[in-house]
Structure 1
Amino acid sequence: MEAGRAPGAPPAPRIDAHHHVWDLNVRDQPWTHGLAALNRTFSADDLRPALNRHAIDATVVVQTLPTEQETAELLALAAEDLHVKAVVGWTDLADAAVAERLAALRDGPGGSALVGIRHATQSETDPGWLSQPDVRRGLRAVAAAGLVYELLVRPDQLTDAVHAVRGLPEVRFVLDHAGNPVIDADGLSAWTALMTELAASPNVAVKLSGLVTRTIAPPLRALRPYTEVLLSVLGPHRLMYGSDWPVCLLAAPYDEVITLAEALTQDLSAHDHDAVFGDTAGHWYGIGGA
């Protein structure tokens, strides 16, 4: 599933493959309670100056709550916003009518922007949640609809994620935040082994996102080994940049996050750099004709 462009083709858009928006006047975000930096409204207009400063042409907005109403609102945003080109939404995977639910979302305003589904597996107490029969059936329905499934897992759930990717080759997966690794020597070793297993399956890509909030050490030094593993086992054509804005604000503003990602990938060739910052996301989500 390698991304790429034909010789002479115009450059693919630069894509931020992971950000969020929410309006507390419309719906509470309980997970932000106690997080002063996040417990307010964030709109696409709030993000736009940073996107323009860094020549980001397109974005993928990702759900935060397990409600189809939020997904419908994000799709309506995509129908109007000049940057939001794709939506990763939510539906109940365990519902026997998941195919009908997906069809209904696609029939609404902006429905053509629906490119994937995500569930906050990291909030499930069962480390084997992805292996539940009803969930597996739902994942197959996501694939049958031509959509990606995004994996949001804790480190102790990464083994189950590997099993899901390996056991469902017909499903295209994207692992958010590189699996939320523990950023220390022991965490690096265990995570590297699992990422190597995961990378053996061609039906998965990984987001270089969300890592800045997982370390208190200088991020360039702390995250370089993790980026090197991702580039080694996956290659740049299965790795995509995502800011995780505004969650990243817990650790750093947008400008610092993208500058860090650029520094972590500075040794790549121009072609491979383009993959991480646009081509891969364009290929997996169908943005910009990639």
Structure 2
Amino acid sequence: MADVPFVDAHIHLWDVQRIRYPWLTPPFADDGPNGSVAAIARDFTVAEYRAQAARWNMVGAVHVEAGADPAQALDETRWLEAVADAEQLPTAIVAFAALDDPQVEQVLAAQAAQPRVRGIRQIVNWHSDARRSYQPRDLTRSAAWQAGFAMLKRHRLSFDLQCYPGQMPALAALIARHAEVPVIINHLGMPVLADPHGREEWRAGLRALAALPNTAIKLSGLGFVARDWTDALVRPLLAEAIDLFGPARCLIASDTPTDTLFAPFDRCLGVLADATAAFSRDERRAMWGRNAERLYRLGLGARLDIAVETRSTSCPTL
């Protein structure tokens, strides 16, 4: 058992019979951003998640919208609320809303009315290479999308930002204008190391975002750095991200089951444990749980302050 409580800041659950997920629907191809997702195109339940996380002193988890058909976004949230009522997970929900939707005000109001909804995610990754893009154009440049982003404050919603580094400088200017909206960068900022200046662009983009006090970053999504990632590849990136944002603004997350396409759950969490091992106990408590507690308003309270005394040489130490 790990020695600090763990709040997983980014998980997905799905019931493919109840909700339609276009990206989990055949036919599958290997040339998209995730590669083939056939291996995870089945129900993923709380019981399966608990089994994966069994070695990590998990006390809570944040569910992030899982790419449901936009017409079923509210259905996904309501299903998750029912799951949480029965299973005590997820602890909080980051729901979907298309911020450029003409009806976005009503959509945000409906999502925010659900008890566990704390934020919104709309994946906005755009790249000049269409094989990398999740969107046909850079939505974040549109006046409609930016107006929708501004509405998040009214509903006390954070925003989970999944973008590419090339989009970050312009997004930093927008985020700076809306300092009351917490923005949590997904998956280490998704560096595109194959680009000619990919690492430098990622570093510059993160530096621009990290300069804003209302931003934080999830240490997750290592398979998006490279499907065949190694510790030697990702450890310097993790160190840079922590250095830029500081332990008070970094959140540990598994991105399961998506990231299990690339490596087992324990391997993903293991490299994050190694990357944070040299920090003080309070700093590790922050990265592994307290930051998620604060940003997503989880209400876990004393569960994050319990010191775990049990040790096992076969279990990870955070």
Q: Same fold (TM over 0.5)?
A: yes
Give the Cα separation in 2 of the matches to 1:156 and 1:29.
28
Give the Cα separation in 1 of the matches to 2:227 and 2:48.
26
Secondary structure of 1:194 counterpart: helix
- Asked if 1 retains the 8 angstrom alpha-carbon contact of 2:65 and 2:121, the reply is yes
Trace 1:1-290 onto structure 2 (pairs within 5 A): 13-32=5-24, 33=26, 34=28, 35-64=37-66, 65=68, 66=70, 67-107=73-113, 111-122=114-125, 123-127=134-138, 129-183=139-193, 186-216=197-227, 219-287=230-298, 288-289=300-301
Secondary structure of 1:240 counterpart: strand
Give the Cα separation in 2 of the matches to 1:77 and 1:17.
18
Give the Cα separation in 1 of the matches to 2:52 and 2:74.
28
Shift of the 163–285 alpha-carbon distance from structure 1 to 2, 3 Å rule, reads same
Shift of the 172–263 alpha-carbon distance from structure 1 to 2, 3 Å rule, reads same
CA RMSD of aligned residues (A): 2.2
Shift of the 103–79 alpha-carbon distance from structure 1 to 2, 3 Å rule, reads farther
Give the Cα separation in 1 of the matches to 2:77 and 2:245.
30
| Structure with higher helix content | 1
Q: How many residues align?
A: 276
**Amino acid aligned to 2:242:** L
- Asked if 1 retains the 8 angstrom alpha-carbon contact of 2:83 and 2:89, the reply is no
Cα offsets for 1:141-177 (capped at 9, x unmatched): 2122111111111343333332332232222111111
Give the Cα separation in 1 of the matches to 2:153 and 2:5.
25
Give the Cα separation in 2 of the matches to 1:219 and 1:266.
18
Give the Cα separation in 2 of the matches to 1:12 and 1:262.
11
**Amino acid aligned to 1:172:** P
TM-score by length of 1: 0.87
Cα offset for 1:211?
1.5
Cα offset for 1:219?
2.2
Unaligned segments of structure 2, at least 5 residues:
29-36, 126-133, 305-318
Cα offset for 1:265?
1.2
Larger displacement relative to structure 2 (192-201 or 146-155): 146-155
**Amino acid aligned to 2:172:** V
TM-score by length of 2: 0.80
- Asked if 2 retains the 8 angstrom alpha-carbon contact of 1:131 and 1:164, the reply is no
Shift of the 177–126 alpha-carbon distance from structure 1 to 2, 3 Å rule, reads same
Secondary structure of 1:88 counterpart: strand
Cα offset for 1:257?
1.1
Larger displacement relative to structure 2 (272-281 or 209-218): 209-218
**Amino acid aligned to 1:141:** M
Cα offset for 1:12?
8.5
Give the Cα separation in 1 of the matches to 2:209 and 2:254.
23
Give the Cα separation in 2 of the matches to 1:201 and 1:85.
27
Give the Cα separation in 1 of the matches to 2:84 and 2:97.
18
Cα offset for 1:139?
1.4
Secondary structure of 1:207 counterpart: strand
Give the Cα separation in 1 of the matches to 2:81 and 2:174.
27
Cα offsets for 1:4-39 (capped at 9, x unmatched): xxxxxxx98520000101111123322234222122
